[in-house]
Amino acid sequence: MKTTIQPVKGMRDFYPEQMAFRNWLYGAIRKVSESFGYQEYEGPILEKIDLYAAKSGEELVKEQAFVFPDRGGDLITLRPELTPTLARLVAQRQNELAIPLRWWSFGPFFRYERPQKGRAREFFQWNIDLIGAGSTGADAELIAVCAVFLQKIGLTHEQVGVFVNDRRLMDSQLAAIGIQREMKQTAFRLIDRRDKMPAAEWEEYALASGLNGEQLGLLKEMLGDRALWQKSEHLVQIFAILEAIGVREYVSFDPQVIRGLDYYTGTVFEARDRAKEGRAILGGGRYDNLVEDVGGAPLPSTGFAMGDMMIAVILEKYGVLPDLVSLPAEVMVSVFDEESMVDAFALSTLVRSEGISVLCYPEAAKLSKQLKYADRIGIRLVLICGPDEKTAGMVTVKNLTNGTQQTFTRGSLGAALRKMLA
RNA sequence: GUGGCUGUAGCUCAAUGGCAGAGCACUUGACUGUGGAUCAAGGGGUUGUGGGUUCAAGCCCCAUCAGCCACCCCA
């Protein structure tokens, strides 16, 4: 094998086929985002490490982000997430912006992790946030955006669900069974991991974490209570709004959804396969302190992020990946011989001026080779202009779909092609 | 960061420690102005890389790199 330089580990190549999927996803995201009145924005790919040190959790950034010194010695990070950048953007122009803001973005992110199914070191992520609204309606809207999106791309509510919880509800419930502030983080972590280990092991882990037997029993009871959300006025209202929007069936209450990120302050949610296979497709929630933490005035916010890889895994699993045959052009102009090359380009321009995408075979070659090429790349119509046509001032159009061919004058060619392509 | 599996032609993969192969793809021809199908011929390899064992290594051993998968973690 020839020695080709290897790509950087975990970085992704997007051949036209993969690019077509990425753009399809981008399009679906844009459509849903804009239909809810959100505006697109983008931030820099590189940020100073300090931006993340503030809130994402220092360990997370140090161990799982690409960090390197620039020529001036500053520590630069390949952005591992967008929310801190968003908070910075808002904090910088807080007085000029019309709050609340509805913003969305789709772009590349990087994490220095070991690649595996549904995860690489480079990934594309959709971020969508409602900044400056602390209401229950704001939370409900984001959950609805997420449900509508899943529906739009062809996933049913039997296949996937959005699982919602509220950290404040969990706070009060934990307090009620005697788990106080300093134990809270431990308890959250415990709840988060319940499905990830065998029951007996989990209980052992719980006791080792400092819970007593009685608390463990109450905690289990609490986590098993699928109606617990009714104790939260906030969640009751969220479900009422989702009902009104028409996506209630996609959304379920799940007391075990906590989310790992420290900056969430209230509602938290994630979408996943109902079969509970694989990791979450997307995750988000309310973060009321982040803008303030990067130097702005306090602005309650809510939002979520979705990566491009996990959603692709799910779409494939349920067989709803779109058919994305990317055709380079509708028409190809063949080049009969060296002498007709110039005319072939002129012919291409004529067709192109009719608003039809067209490519010109780039060299004189045997007609069979050119037709074979056209067939392989999915061209529907091939124009042939050899000596016979040239003398008669005509152009032959060969239809590769059914094998027929017809000749036209140059003047009638455009209309004829449009008709055949319709 | 931990563990398992895998690296052989462009792709998918064969080859008891004993001549490196097949299918698909590609090129050419059958068909000098007509694609897909068929047939024939042809090109293509430092078996991921570096060491070691052996008369002999694609195969065994060590290291290393990469890919996949599962942990860890998840923004």
| Nucleotide nearest to A261 in CA–C1' terms | B75
Between the CA of A2 and the C1' of B53, what is the distance in angstroms?
A: 28
| Nucleotide nearest to A110 in CA–C1' terms | B75
DSSP codes of every residue in A27-84: HHHHHHHHHTT-EE----SEEEHHHHHTTT-HHHHHHHSEEEE-TTS-EEEE-S-SHH
Give the lowest-confidence range in A97-106, A141-150, A243-252, A359-368.
Answer: A359-368
| Nucleotide nearest to A52 in CA–C1' terms | B75
A33-68, pLDDT tens digit by residue? Answer: 999 999 999 999 999 988 887 555 556 676 788 888
Q: How far apart are CA A4 and CA A12, in angstroms?
A: 16
The ipTM estimated for the assembled molecules is 0.85
| Nucleotide nearest to A284 in CA–C1' terms | B75
- Say if residues A267 and A139 touch (Cβ distance below 8 Å): yes
Query: Of A216, A224, A284, nearest to A254 (Cα)?
Result: A224
Nearest protein residue to nucleotide B31 (CA to C1' distance) is A368
- Say if residues A326 and A20 touch (Cβ distance below 8 Å): yes
Q: Which helix (H) or strand (E) holds A92?
A: helix A83-92
Residue A200 is predicted with a pLDDT of 81
Query: Of A306, A320, A308, A313, nearest to A146 (Cα)?
Result: A306
| Nucleotide nearest to A81 in CA–C1' terms | B75
| Angle, alpha carbons A28-A33-A39 (nearest 5°) | 125
A184-237, pLDDT tens digit by residue? Answer: 878 888 888 887 777 888 888 888 888 888 888 899 888 888 899 999 999 999
Between the CA of A4 and the C1' of B18, what is the distance in angstroms?
A: 32
Nearest protein residue to nucleotide B10 (CA to C1' distance) is A1
Between the CA of A317 and the C1' of B8, what is the distance in angstroms?
A: 32
Q: DSSP letter for A135, please.
A: S
Between the CA of A3 and the C1' of B46, what is the distance in angstroms?
A: 11
Between the CA of A113 and the C1' of B48, what is the distance in angstroms?
A: 23
Between the CA of A110 and the C1' of B22, what is the distance in angstroms?
A: 41
Domain boundaries, chain A: 16-317, 331-421
Residues near A117 by Cβ (< 8 Å), separated by ≥ 6?
A: A278, A313
Q: Is the pLDDT of residue A303 over 70?
A: yes
Nearest protein residue to nucleotide B65 (CA to C1' distance) is A6
The hierarchical CATH code for the domain A16-317 is: 3.30.930.10
| Nucleotide nearest to A83 in CA–C1' terms | B75
Q: Is the pLDDT of residue A299 over 70?
A: yes
Q: Is the pLDDT of residue A315 over 60?
A: yes
The reply to whether CATH 3.40.50.800 applies to domain A331-421 is: yes
Residue A59 is predicted with a pLDDT of 62
List protein-proximal bases of chain B (any atom < 7 A from a CB).
1-3, 8-10, 26-29, 31, 33-36, 45-46, 48-49, 65-75
Q: How far is CA A27 from CA A23, A54, A67, A149, A299, in A?
A: 6, 33, 31, 11, 30
Which residues share a beta bridge with A107? A125
